Chains A and B, each alone.
Chain A
Amino acid sequence: MSETVAIQGHIDESGTFKSLKLKSGLSKELQLDFSQVKSISAGGLRLFQVWLAELGVEQLVLHRCSQGILDQLNSLKAISQLKARVASVELSLKCPHCSSGVDYLAQRGQDYLEGSVVHRESLDLPQEISCPGCGGQVPLESEVSSYFAFLKHRN
């Protein structure tokens, strides 16, 4: 598998993401760690798409997408447009018992899978996860399913 490069800050019309240091001899698959991306605008996405095409990227793989980023990507139906694969999703919840933050990294293939010609999309997140703070149960799937809207978007 090719190296995963972290992309940071805002993906907007200023196109600052173009300064991202990519290894020479980039393969057709680009793996990006999206956990540090703060926001994505429509104008930024348009530019991002042109940049990927110029680089000759055929398969984009996104790692550790946050809920906020997915909300924006979903509103623009961006995942299907970029023909991207979302490898993992960082879910951040709040424990209803002790209010501590509870994180869960949802993985493609294990917790969800986009639809294809041979199978329907699926979302199989654990119903609840345990809170590392108090050991109580934190509901998961019902809280976060909307972030996985991209599983249904098709070209």
Chain B
Amino acid sequence: MKVKMWGVRGSLPAAPARSQAFSKVKKALESFVKQQKNNPQLSVDEFLNLPESQQPCYGGHTSCVEVFTDKTQLIVDGGSGIRPLAEHLMAGPCGMGKGEAHIFMTHFHWDHLIGLPFFIPIFIPGNRVHFYAVQEDLEQNIRRMFTKPNFPVPFEALGAQIFFHSMEPRKPQMIGDIQVTPYQLDHPDPCWGYRFEHQGRAYSHCVDSEALRVSRDDLGLDLPLYQNCNVMVFDAQYTFEEAIEKTNWGHSSAPIGLDLAMREKIPKVYFMHHDPSASDEHIAYLQRRTEDYYQARLKALRDSGSDVFEVDWEFAWDGLVFDV
């Protein structure tokens, strides 16, 4: 099973401003000139050959994640990231009116819906588009996206056949060869995370969440979302202190995700739902702060003779693909 992050931004799409792009180019040029002084042979290609994770650009599309195997392709949320995903799908059966799309909605905040009117396969006769959610008002929320005067094409005029599936909380459902189970997250409006399982591997999608419940007791019925999981995606919109200040805003911070991952032995964590106002530099700062926390916590646990589980973690970017 693989996952592709088509949109990792939270709250609102955030395109980089011209000034940001300019300062990035300037910094890169300055750095190139400096490095070339020490190594006159340095080529532009060598200079740019950074590992993907060190390329300082996180992207600005809101929540949309694709979970796929050779046989099955699932989508989580319809944020603005679903537009480039739609373009990708149009190159396959969806472009010929023979495609099928499965979209799992976590909740209906704008940043998770805003891309749906630009999901091209939904306009093409012959395609079948399935929406899934635990919330009972799924159909009403999707229909509302295609309503005049907010959008010119009414829902009734969409070409594809559209199906709405209501999911039962915490009850697994098979879609192709992937099992999907919804678990409740901590958000001001009801929001459901999903656990995707395929061939004994599990991916847990835990966005949007303030993660107010962390202990096993407090998580109760939703604890399995975090257990025996290989990769977790977690809401880290804020620094730890901002998240405390913004209690009940519905978003968390990386240290809270690491607490969960270290306790439940989740080997890989990606953080997303970056704040729309967060520049790439700010996200890099969050990364450094998280590293300080992680190292201090590892050391304290080791020094006290406690169990230590090391977690590999990263702040996700638009276009990131990973294996589960």
Q: A residues near B, CB below 8 A? A: 10, 12-15, 38-46, 49, 68-69, 71-72, 74-77, 80-81
Inter-chain CA distance A71–B253, complex, in Å, is: 18
Binds A, one of B225-233, B268-276, B288-296: B288-296
Assess whether B57 is interfacial by the CB under 8 Å rule.
no
B255 lies within 8 A of A76 (CB): yes
A42 lies within 8 A of B253 (CB): yes
Residues of B within 8 A of A42 (CB): 240, 253, 255-256, 258-259, 293
B255 lies within 8 A of A39 (CB): no
Q: Which secondary structure dominates chain B's binding surface? A: helix
B259 lies within 8 A of A12 (CB): yes
Among residues of B, the one whose C-beta sits closest to the C-beta of A9 is: B304
Assess whether B53 is interfacial by the CB under 8 Å rule.
no
Among residues of B, the one whose C-beta sits closest to the C-beta of A40 is: B300
A39 lies within 8 A of B300 (CB): yes
B215 lies within 8 A of A13 (CB): yes
Assess whether B96 is interfacial by the CB under 8 Å rule.
no
Count of A-B contacts with CB under 8 A?
71
Task: Provide a sorted-by-A list of 26 A–B residue pairs whose CB atoms are within 8 angstroms.
Answer: A10-B306, A12-B259, A13-B214, A13-B215, A39-B301, A39-B306, A40-B300, A41-B259, A41-B297, A42-B240, A42-B253, A42-B255, A43-B260, A44-B259, A68-B303, A69-B300, A72-B293, A72-B297, A74-B296, A75-B255, A75-B292, A75-B293, A76-B241, A76-B255, A80-B241, A81-B241
Inter-chain CA distance A41–B255, complex, in Å, is: 8
What are the nearest 8 A-B pairs in CB distance? Answer: A42-B255, A38-B304, A39-B300, A71-B296, A75-B292, A75-B293, A43-B214, A13-B214
Residues of B within 8 A of A46 (CB): 244, 256
Assess whether B165 is interfacial by the CB under 8 Å rule.
no
Among residues of B, the one whose C-beta sits closest to the C-beta of A14 is: B215
Among residues of A, the one whose C-beta sits closest to the C-beta of B239 is: A77
B215 lies within 8 A of A68 (CB): no
CB distance from A24 to the nearest CB of B (A): 28
* Known pairs A39-B301, A81-B244; A74 contacts B256 (CB<8 A): no
Q: Which secondary structure dominates chain A's binding surface? A: helix
Inter-chain CA distance A41–B301, complex, in Å, is: 10
Q: B228-264 CB contact bits vs A (8 Å, 1 = yes)?
A: 0000000000011100100000000101101110000
Inter-chain CA distance A74–B296, complex, in Å, is: 9
B244 lies within 8 A of A38 (CB): no
Inter-chain CA distance A5–B303, complex, in Å, is: 23
Inter-chain CA distance A40–B259, complex, in Å, is: 10
Query: In the complex, which of the residues B241, B292, B300 has the most CB atoms of chain A within 10 Å of its own CB atom?
Result: B300
Inter-chain CA distance A81–B242, complex, in Å, is: 10
Residues of A within 8 A of B259 (CB): 12-13, 41-44
B306 lies within 8 A of A75 (CB): no
**Further pairs besides A68-B303, A81-B244: 11, Cβ < 8 Å:** A39-B297, A39-B301, A42-B240, A42-B259, A46-B244, A71-B300, A75-B289, A75-B292, A76-B241, A77-B239, A80-B241
A74 lies within 8 A of B292 (CB): yes
Inter-chain CA distance A44–B293, complex, in Å, is: 13
CB distance from B241 to the nearest CB of A (A): 5
Residues of B within 8 A of A44 (CB): 259
Inter-chain CA distance A75–B255, complex, in Å, is: 10
Residues of A within 8 A of B24 (CB): none
